[in-house]
Chains A and B, each alone.
Chain A
Amino acid sequence: MNDLERFREVVLADEGLQQQLRDTKDTTSFMKLMIHLGQLRGYEFTESEVEEALTAARRTWIERRIG
C-alpha cells in the first residue's frame, strides 16, 4: 500500500477531512488540497498519482455502466 492509498483510508475514517475535500469541486484545487492535507499528516504523494487514481476510478465507473 502506498502513501496515497494509506491517506485515502485515513480520510474515509475522518469526517472532518471528508468535509474539507467535498467542499472542493474543482479537480485541480482538489488535487492540491489532497497533497496539502496528506503532507500535514506525513503522507507523501504527487499530483500525478492523484490524477492517475481519479482517471482509474472514472474508467472503472464508465466500464461498469457500459458492461
Chain B
Amino acid sequence: MSDPGWVKFTTSGSTAIWSCGGAWTIEHATRLDGDLTIPAEAISKTAILDLSAIDQLDTSGAWLISRHGKTLHGKGFAVETREGDPDLAALLKRVVETEDVLPVQPPQRNLSDKIAEVGAAAEGILTESRDLVAFFGALVMALSRLALTPWKLRWNAIFSHLEQTGLNALPIVGMINLLVGVVLAFQGADQLARFGAQTFTINMLGISVLREMAVLLTAIVVAGRSGSAFTAQIGTMQVNEEVDALRTIGLNPMDVLVVPRVLALMIALPLLTFFADMMGLLGGGLMCIALLDISFGQYLSLLNQAITVDHFWVGLVKAPFFAALIALIGCFEGLRVSGSAESVGRLTTRSVVEGIFMVIIVDALFSILFSYLGI
C-alpha cells in the first residue's frame, strides 16, 4: 500500500516548486485540496509541479493537479510539469485536456421566480381541472357509444375489476364499518346517558351509519385501495408505452382501460356500501345490546322504529356517484403519467388525495340537496 498523498512547497532561486508524492487518490482528495495553496513566497512567475514521487494517481488527484496548474497559469505563472511515470502522465493529460468542466450551479431563485411559481401552480390547477372535465366528456361519449353496442363492452375486464375492487375489498370494508359502528354506539350511549336518553343511541346510530358513515368510509377505503391501483396500473402501462401500443393497433384506451374500470367500480361501490351498512348496524347493535341491556330482537325492533327506508336510500344513492368520481380521477391521473417511474408514484398519491377530497365535497353537496328536498 502506498503512502497517503502529500505536497511540499519549496523555492529554488526564483522558481516555486510544488513537490507531490504518495497516493493522490480520492481518499486523500479533501486534505490535498486544502494543502494545494499558493503561498506568499511564490512571488516569481516560474513554477514547477514535480510529480515524480507520486506512485498512485486517480482522476480525483489528477483533477487537483490540473486545477492547480490552471490556477497558476491564470495568475501569470509559467508552469512546468514533471511527471515520472508515463501512465500517470497519460491520465493527467487526459484530465487536463477535458474542457468545459463546469460544476452545476444550483439555480438561484429570487422573489419574482417564487411569485411566478405561484402563478404557474395556479395555472396548473386550472388546466388540470379543464382536462379532467374534458376527460369526463370523453368518457360520457364513450359510454353512450357503448350503450348502443353493449356487446362491445369488455365484460372480462369488467368482471375482473369487480373481483379486485369489490369482492377483495369486503374484509377491510367490513372490518372498518363494524368497528366504527361499535365506536359510534359507545360514544353515543355515553353522552346520551347524561340526559337519560340512552335509547336514542339507536336512532343516532341507524341514521348516521345509513346516511353518511357507511358510504363515506367505504368510498374513502376504495379511493385508497382501487383509485390508487387504477393510477398505478395505467401509469405503469403508460411508462412501458403499452398505452401507445394500444392506440397503434386501433384500440381506444378509453374503451379498453377506462370504461371497464369505471363501470366495475360503479357496480362494486353500491354493493360494498350495502355490506358496510349491515356491518355498521351489526357493530353498533352489539354495543347497544351490551350497554343498554336489551336483546337482539329488541334492538331490531327499536331500529325499525328509529329509521325509515329513506335513510338507507339516501346513503346508497350516493355510492355510484362517488365510484364514478374515484374511477374517473384514478384513470385520468394514470393516463397523465409520462416518462419516469417517479411520476407513477407522484400521480398515484395525487389520485388518492384528489379522490378523497372530491368524495367529501360531493357528499357535502348531496347534504345540501337533500335538505332542500326535505329528505
Q: Are A and B genuine complex partners?
A: no
Q: Enumerate chain B interface residues (CB-CB to A < 8 A).
A: none
Q: Enumerate chain A interface residues (CB-CB to B < 8 A).
A: none
